[in-house]
Structure 1
Amino acid sequence: MNQERAVSDIELRHGDLAVRVSPRGAAVTAATFRGIPFLVAAGGPDGAMANFAMVPFGNRVEGNTMSYAGRDYAFQPNTADPLYRHGDGWLSLWQLEDFGSAHAQFSFSRSADKVSSYAYLTRQEIRLAGDALVLTLSVENRGEAALPFGLGQHPFFARTPQTRLAIAADRYWSERPDHLPDMAGPVPDDFDFRSEKLLPQRWMNNAFEGWNGRAAIAWPELGMQAALEADGALDRFMLYMPVDRNDFFCLEPMSHLPNGHHLPEFGGLIPLAPGEVLSGKVTIDLSALPVQPEER
């Protein structure tokens, strides 16, 4: 067994939580509460990731170009998608810096190249605390000039026919055919989860703003629920629900909007001077769903 394979099989356990982590993408590849999966391995290059870090920003860049501080920059596609997508971290092998029975910390460093002009050092800590999975991500600009940075987590939550979601937002972005945000406006009824309700049976790939960083997910068939909290820079989110699979949905806390490089105020991307750091934390707290009394 080579070193990469050995490290990729790290198992974290604490109480009722069990999580498997990999150095590829600093990814969670499995996560269960009382033996029941709450994250599903459905993402990443080979579909083996249940959560991965998005760094130095998430989602796509229109035209694979950006302009900042009077300079033009170009990206090259990093997957089969024609647009550079989700940054470099999810495709790369991270170094294991520290681990124990209930935590693991990875780091990844890259230099600017023809694929991306971003040079940075990023760290991801995956920790089990009580019945919570805590994901802490940071990025430091290691380049020679300031650039707009962003962060995000991309969890693939289990989805059942009765899965319910509660999350509030003030503004919604419609989607263009190229999977980039189109127009901002009020949240449509189908996508309004201010009061807990069932997930819609339709395609969703939309960004939301005006979020307080909290969400609740309930899986009645599985007898469990999750309270999600995002802090630090993570004040926006994406909802993704494909139509070719119904076993997962993605609720992605992010620091910025997709295609932020081409939006006013960079869509929430934060300019970092060399040496400056951006960070954000996501906590997913699991618990048993209270049993409802039977109707008479």
Structure 2
Amino acid sequence: MGKQSEAEYLWNSGPFRVGIVPRGGAISRIDWVRPDGDGVINLLRPVDEFSLTSGNPSHLGCFPMVPFANRLGYAQFDFDGKTINVPANRAPDPHAIHGFGISAVWEIERPTIDTIRFSHKHDDPQTGFSYTAWQEITVANGSISIEIGVRHLGREPMPYGIGLHPWFPAGEDASVSFIAADCFGTDDGKLPTTRTVIDLGRDFSDGKMIRHNKGLDVHYSGWHGAVEMTWKDRQLSLLLEASDTLSNLQFYIPENGETFCVEPVSHVPNVHNRPELKKFGDVRVLGYNDTISGTMTLTPGLLARSDDSLVDDAEEPVGRRDYSLVD
């Protein structure tokens, strides 16, 4: 069941309430009813009316990346003997970022009790990208899953990548833990250059506090497919798991430390232009009617209460955030 407004569609299923913004195919919130009956927690970063009506999905809780994830160098790449030019969509940055889905209006289909699906079509003969993309949210067994997928509809094959870009609230007690095999150095344009070792500053295998790692922006491959997050002040734990297709991870903490992203993606950013990086996560060439899809699953839980003063900080934002720091 849901209600439609100009900016946000709300859907309830089990212990979750989800907000969807059709412009950009973004998720504005995922509210979770605490099993102890002590209120509701928004699993994503909180948003306000400005972010809902801004038209910029980077201001919201989670958005799709299709037909490529993260940055594409100088908004072009060579494929099948042709140079493909795509829009550089964040001036004055010369690169393209996050694909085309973030500038499209996604159509929401009639939901079932535990599933809701929304999609958009894209057809550009100049680039060769002709496709239908979808997101499908499913609630089951105390978890909520988001599948992102794309079906190529063009006559000639094209390379595709996908990803999801969730934003989570930070704070003094937020911590993150995940395991990966490799990470990458970047140039001044934030494009990966070479594989490098995961040094102490980029190793989160034993968990680290977000507040000690502000400004971090790193791409990982050989990711084990799970991220564990905790917020002691919110009494919240959150397990993020991804399917094998989403084999890579982008991890970003803005300088202000108010939020962070752990983004499951299918390929190394700008791998279109860096063939030596293909073995660490490549795009997939799709022929007519071929598809690629991947799923991110969030499973929340409550931490043991160690202090009666712990309360849910949750839900509604206070004031207006600094929107200059988006990715």
Judge same fold: TM > 0.5, yes or no. yes
Superposition RMSD on alpha carbons, in Å?
Answer: 2.2
Change (3 A) 1:192 1:286: same
2:238 aligned with 1:238, yes or no? Answer: no
2:41 corresponds to which of 16, 36, 40 = 36
Letter in 1 for 2:258: D
Aligned counterparts, 1:204-219, within 5 A: 204-219=216-231
TM-score (normalizing by structure 1): 0.90
Distance 1:131 1:159 in 2: 23
The answer (yes or no) to whether the contact 2:24–2:57 under 8 Å persists in 1 is no
* Helix, strand or coil at the partner of 1:275: coil
Distance 2:90 2:297 in 1: 29
1:85 corresponds to which of 83, 97, 107 = 97
- Number of the residue aligned with 1:283: 297
The answer (yes or no) to whether the contact 2:8–2:22 under 8 Å persists in 1 is no
User: What displacement does 1:270 show?
Assistant: 0.8
Structure 1 stretch displaced more, 280-289 or 47-56: 47-56
Q: Deviations over 1:91-139 (max 9, x none)?
A: 110112231454321111111155x441111111122324322100110
2:212 aligned with 1:203, yes or no? Answer: no
User: What displacement does 1:196 show?
Assistant: 2.1
Distance 1:278 1:163 in 2: 33
The answer (yes or no) to whether the contact 2:173–2:209 under 8 Å persists in 1 is yes
The answer (yes or no) to whether the contact 1:14–1:131 under 8 Å persists in 2 is no
Q: Deviations over 1:219-256 (max 9, x none)?
A: 1110011111100410100001110x322100000000
Letter in 1 for 2:80: A
Distance 1:192 1:152 in 2: 22
The answer (yes or no) to whether the contact 1:41–1:47 under 8 Å persists in 2 is no
Aligned counterparts, 1:170-209, within 5 A: 170-199=181-210, 200-209=212-221
- Number of the residue aligned with 1:45: 56
1:253 corresponds to which of 242, 256, 264 = 264
Structure 1 stretch displaced more, 230-239 or 193-202: 193-202
2:164 aligned with 1:159, yes or no? Answer: no
> For structure 1, which runs of at least 5 residues remain unmatched after alignment?
none
Distance 1:59 1:47 in 2: 12
Q: Which has the higher strand share?
A: 1
2:24 aligned with 1:10, yes or no? Answer: no
Letter in 2 for 1:31: I
The answer (yes or no) to whether the contact 2:46–2:169 under 8 Å persists in 1 is no
User: What displacement does 1:86 show?
Assistant: 0.6
* Helix, strand or coil at the partner of 1:119: strand
2:233 corresponds to which of 214, 218, 221 = 221
Percent same amino acid at aligned positions?
Answer: 25
* Helix, strand or coil at the partner of 2:299: strand
- Number of the residue aligned with 1:135: 146
The answer (yes or no) to whether the contact 1:31–1:37 under 8 Å persists in 2 is yes
Letter in 1 for 2:172: P
User: What displacement does 1:78 show?
Assistant: 2.3
Structure 1 stretch displaced more, 60-69 or 9-18: 9-18
The answer (yes or no) to whether the contact 2:152–2:288 under 8 Å persists in 1 is yes
Letter in 1 for 2:23: R
2:134 corresponds to which of 117, 123, 126 = 123
> For structure 2, which runs of at least 5 residues remain unmatched after alignment?
34-39, 309-327
Structure 1 stretch displaced more, 29-38 or 255-264: 29-38
User: What displacement does 1:46 show?
Assistant: 6.0
The answer (yes or no) to whether the contact 1:98–1:106 under 8 Å persists in 2 is no
Distance 1:242 1:207 in 2: 15
Give the paired residue count: 289
Distance 1:155 1:280 in 2: 14
TM-score (normalizing by structure 2): 0.82
